[in-house]
A and B are shown apart, each in its own frame.
Chain A
């Protein structure tokens, strides 16, 4: 991540993804039921935004980027994918925060500590750079 705007985008994305996941988990009680096109449009928008962050080793599946209308994904298909994306986006976030003092975490921008406060990392660091 390079700018403060990127951090805002990421935080917004995490919020949207959590929201969608909790809503769709309720629907997934009927696992065979399909996601309607209106909801699919928004799920795809969130996945599109997530894909901008999740490149390389962060991308959950090499051959998946978005749902297609023809594939007619079920609610449980969508929650499965969202869970994978949430896992990876959290890993990405954990790799981009730093613990600078006791209980004080900040975002790293362009490899340097910024002043933007962050929640603590929850995944083991994968960064090797």
Chain B
């Protein structure tokens, strides 16, 4: 079995937790659901980020210069080229491939340099303001335009990170790299970058500090909190997106006021983490729910149990294990749900799991049953192959009975496979230490493994 939801680092056998790295680890077959917010570069305490923002704005405003010189064709082609940056893999695409804007949309954006006097005279301060005037400009488009103009920096950043971590690279051509001197997108040949093994295309890393779910300056925020809706229309059905955009063109001062207000409150603008743990109170609520659930399927108890564990474990085990995905499979007519985590080898126990059992990923099989049966042990045993290695975890309600405990020990004796069981009491203790911070919840797993090994023959 190959890696489930492969990430670049895990694919190359580099076991690092996302929390330890400065960049968002790219997936091979889907995008990271975050976006580069250019405002984060503007508000950054780092002079380098500020300079990059200036470079970005200069590059964008140069399109206005081209328009004023009558060179619309070049301006349009440059903006179309900038509108997509597949190498970074950010956004909501399931395939890591985006679609560029059309020439008509590019012309509409570029017309702002003529239609809005402030842009004609002074250019943009924050190019994401285009959202307020042109329909169909969303956060992923802002993010892609930003990455395209900063691609040269991202190439250097990626190379540095690859060198530091030992990620393999290969010589590759990268299209549409912005040349600051020529103000043009050009092809760069023979750059040493990491390659997506699925499509052989280059991958670029993006610093985590630039990422947000929603840009700080965003149309939705403006519409909800700042836009004078009554002035645009008193009738809700007439308060359309297009009506607001048209209003904005004619009332630039309103947009200007919003942007200035956002600039004033820049200290509240922070990057969003790639993963947020659930609050302690929520973890305790889930534990109480689990404690009250009956075993079996009656009243959807199995589904409720799986959902509660599915929400608890990624938080409890973070940052030692990065959550990969929740899977459902059917074996011998039985539906099985499990949680897959990337093994980050960040603590001694996880290193052992990697070295001794070859687990690049770890599976937690969820079983809301009164007792684990031999058949369940065998099902998990059959699943423990390939990148999952020979280590697996049952998350269930009670400890294994004698026969099943013996079967698990026999599996270790015969095949050197380890199956650890986490029960309600263990989940209880994990939540307890999650709250008290006296130990890490993953230490409960370490403890259960130590108990398991103490039962195995030497």
Contact = CB atoms under 8 A, between A and B. Distances in A.
A33 interface: yes
B439 interface: yes
B450 A33 contact: no
A72 B446 contact: yes
Contacts of B432: 30, 32-34
B436 interface: yes
A36 interface: yes
Interface string B426-444: 0011001100101100011
A36 B447 contact: no
Interface in A43-57: none
Interface in B261-315: none
B253 to A, nearest CB: 58
B428 A72 contact: no
A126 interface: no
Nearest to B437: A36
B446 A33 contact: no
B296 to A, nearest CB: 26
A74 interface: yes
A33 B436 contact: yes
A72 B436 contact: no
A68 B438 CA distance: 15
Contacts of B446: 70, 72
B450 A34 contact: no
B139 to A, nearest CB: 42
Contacts of B425: 32
Nearest to A34: B439
Contact of A71 (B433, B438, B447): B447
A34 B438 contact: yes
Interface string A21-39: 0000000001011111100
A33 B447 contact: no
A64 to B, nearest CB: 14
B130 to A, nearest CB: 52
B429 A32 contact: yes
Contacts of B439: 34-37, 72
A37 B437 CA distance: 11
Interface in B398-450: 425, 428-429, 432-433, 436, 438-439, 443-444, 446-447, 449-450
B42 to A, nearest CB: 42
Main secondary structure of the interface of A (DSSP, over half): loop
A34 B443 contact: yes
Nearest to A74: B429
A71 B436 contact: no
A32 B447 contact: no
A104 to B, nearest CB: 46
Which residue, of B349, B433, B444, has the highest number of chain A Cβ atoms within 10 A? B433
Interface string A55-75: 000000000000010111010
B450 A71 contact: yes
A32 B428 contact: yes
B166 to A, nearest CB: 30
A73 B288 CA distance: 23
A83 to B, nearest CB: 20
A34 B432 CA distance: 8
Interface in B202-261: none
A69 to B, nearest CB: 8
Most chain A CB within 10 A, of B429, B439, B444, is at B439
A32 B429 CA distance: 6
A78 to B, nearest CB: 11
Interface in A63-113: 68, 70-72, 74
A33 B439 CA distance: 9
A70 B438 contact: no
A35 B443 CA distance: 11
Contacts of B438: 33-36
Contact of B429 (A34, A37, A71): A34
Contacts of B449: 70
A37 B347 CA distance: 14
Contacts of A32: 425, 428-429, 432
Most buried by A among B349, B425, B436: B436
Contacts of A72: 429, 439, 443-444, 446-447
Contacts of B447: 70-72
Contacts of A33: 429, 432-433, 436, 438
A31 B449 CA distance: 21
Given A72-B443, A72-B444, A30 B450 contact: no
B428 to A, nearest CB: 6
B437 to A, nearest CB: 8
Nearest to A35: B438
Interface in B105-163: none
Given A34-B438, A72-B444, 8 more contacts: A30-B436, A33-B432, A33-B438, A36-B439, A70-B349, A70-B443, A70-B447, A70-B450
Interface of A: 30, 32-37, 68, 70-72, 74
For the complex of A and B, the 8 pairs showing the least CB-CB separation, nearest first, are A36-B438, A70-B450, A72-B447, A34-B439, A32-B432, A33-B436, A33-B432, A72-B443
7 contacts: A33-B433, A34-B432, A34-B436, A34-B443, A35-B439, A70-B446, A72-B443
